[in-house]
Amino acid sequence: MDISIIGSGYVGLCTAVGFASLGHKVICVDVEKEKVDKINHGVPTIYEDGLEARLKAAVEAKQITATTDTDYAVKNSEISFIAVGTPSKDDGSIDLTYVKKVSRELGKALRNKDGYHVIAVKSTVVPGTTDDIVIPELERHSGKKAGEFGVCMVPEFLREGKALHDFLNPDRIVIGELDKKSGDIAEKIHEKLKTPILRKNIKTAEMIKYASNTFLAAKISLINEIGNICKKLGIDVYDVAEAVGYDRRIGKLFLEAGIGFGGSCFRKDISALLKKADQLGCEPKLIKAMLDTNKGQPLKIIELLEKKTNVKGKKIAVLGLSFKAGTDDVRDSPAAVIIKELTDKGAFISAYDPNAVENMRKRFPGITYADIGECLDNADACLILTDWDEFRQLEDRDFDKMRNRIILEGRRVLGRNKVRGFEGVAW
Ligand code: UGA
């Protein structure tokens, strides 16, 4: 089928390449000419494992093209996805500016198209957004009634760093549909994926995305709180999590304790859900507490460090800057909170990351960026903050150059018996 995707950021581009891998023809749309040119040359606009090769192949096979022209994209496809960002406003509520703008443009494009066309929302939007904002904009600018064109909400469940794998191996596809006709088309483009397809109404699909991220974040905050107690008791929380995870009602995944979750999604989405709940007169105490717990978690490693040394004037090696391994993304990275706190306290940071240095440099231009050896050389302490595989290879002698052998992990990385004298934030 012919698909267009409006917004060529992280979700848009990965979804485009995913659909191309299923044999569809995809038109990517973006307002930024530079991004469009890059995509047309097979160059990804973001770093994502495996994306470059697949994008290149899809562009060469003419399965993916990019344009700034929404009208053209709608005319030459049967379904258009809205995949633009939904950032947080200062008060935590969702900023729907881009969704609204794209809905308006799609409405205008629908006015100029004769045949049936489906608009599918892929952006994460709070329940009610498609019905209350997207559809009215589409109707106003197309001069048509929803039903004359199709509408769906198809949330994404892609992890950064594993997005293509997740696209091609989903646990499920959720389709929120205006009517059967729209849902059938959305289902058809996914038919090669052998996975359960759950067809719901639009509002329910929107909520499923928030509920999924909230559950995942809850598991992390809960294991972190258990970990904080374990730490005081001298218990390894990973031993606890291993056994707890055997209970199938709980499950083994997302029980890794540490300095808390980061990234562009969990905090943003949970804050937006809390704001929506507030407007509805609900007070979800547990969900609010999860965010509070997570906010405190990066500071735990500084508490631990300060029990061992005064940080003022000390050289602290920080290994790992991205919010997790496999990405260059530093949005909401716990490393940023830790670097800010340590520099405020007068420490000198020497930082290394396999991928995220350039992004972190924009936030902290004044700290030193170096390779692992230089970071550790004469360091008074070393903090490991991202679980990159590269750090798992570190050996005991790699830390010999430190002035003080204080090694603290914010993520479980170092093998237990290989490196002497390291300690974890919650183990
Ligand atoms: C998350 C969800 O996992 C995706 O399903 C969802 O589609 C995406 O948000 C989104 O809403 O777009 P992502 O933010 O890429 O994906 O990253 P995760 O792999 O979920 O990790 C999030 C954070 O939790 C990272 O900082 C990670 O280090 C941390 N984490 C994860 C833990 O601290 N412990 C764990 O056990 C697992």
Q: Which of 232, 263, 296 is the last residue of a domain?
A: 296
From 272, 296, 320, give the residue that closes a domain. 296
User: What atom of ligand 1 comes closest to residue 158's alpha carbon?
Assistant: 7
Are 8 and 114 in a shared domain? yes
Kindly report, residue by residue over 59-105, the tens digit of the pLDDT. 999 999 999 999 999 999 999 999 999 999 999 999 999 999 999 99
Taking 80 as the threshold, does the pLDDT of residue 362 lie above it? yes
Which H or E run includes 315? strand 315-319
Q: Which of 170, 162, 167, 157 is nearest to 47 (CA)?
A: 162
> Which ranges of 117-201 does DSSP label H, i.e. alpha helix?
129, 135-142, 163-168, 180-189
Domain identity same for 178 and 232: no
Q: Which helix (H) or strand (E) holds 153?
A: strand 150-153
Q: Lowest-confidence range among 21-35, 183-197, 226-240, 409-423? A: 409-423
**Ligand 1 neighbour 85 (Cβ under 6 A):** no
Which tens digit of pLDDT belongs to each residue from 290-323?
999 999 999 999 999 999 999 999 999 999 999 9
| pTM across the whole model | 0.95
**Do 46 and 26 reside in the same domain of the chain?**
yes
What tokens appear for 331 in the block? Answer: 């949005």
Final residue before a domain boundary, out of 257, 278, 296: 296
Q: How far is the CA of 300 from the centre of ligand 1 (A)?
A: 20
Domain that holds residue 250: 210-296
Q: Report whether 245 contacts 219 (CB < 8 A).
A: no
Q: Are residues 46 and 24 in the same domain?
A: yes
198 strand-pairing partners:
174
Residue 338: CATH number of its domain? 3.40.50.720
What percentage of the chain exceeds 70 in pLDDT? Answer: 100
Nearest alpha carbon to residue 334 among 323, 346, 325, 344: 323
Do residues 64 and 20 make contact, with C-beta atoms less than 8 angstroms apart?
A: yes
Is residue 49 scored above 90 in pLDDT?
Answer: no
Distances in whole angstroms, Cα of residue 277 to Cα of each of 93, 213, 218, 282: 10, 16, 17, 5
Task: Give domain status of residue 98, yes or no.
Answer: yes
- Are residue 85 and residue 222 in the same domain, yes or no? no
Judged against a pLDDT cut of 90, whether residue 247 lies above it is answered with: yes
The verdict on the CB of residue 265 being under 6 Å from ligand 1 is: yes
- Protein residue closest via CA to atom 23 of ligand 1: 261
What is the tens place of the pLDDT at every residue in 132-157? 999 999 999 999 999 999 999 999 99
Closest alpha carbon to 318 in 238, 411, 416: 411
Query: Does residue 205 fall inside a structural domain?
Result: no
Ligand 1 centre to CA of 301 (Å) is 20
**Cα distance between residue 158 and residue 167, in whole Å:** 7
pLDDT-derived band at 404, boundaries 50, 70, 90? very high
pLDDT value at residue 179: 98
Query: Which residues have CB under 8 Å from 29's CB, separation 6+?
Result: 4, 5, 6, 7, 8, 66, 67, 68, 69, 70, 73
38/56 Cα distance (integer angstroms): 11
Q: Does residue 417 have a pLDDT over 70?
A: no
CATH for 217: 1.10.1040.10
Looking from the CA of residue 260, the nearest atom of ligand 1 is 33
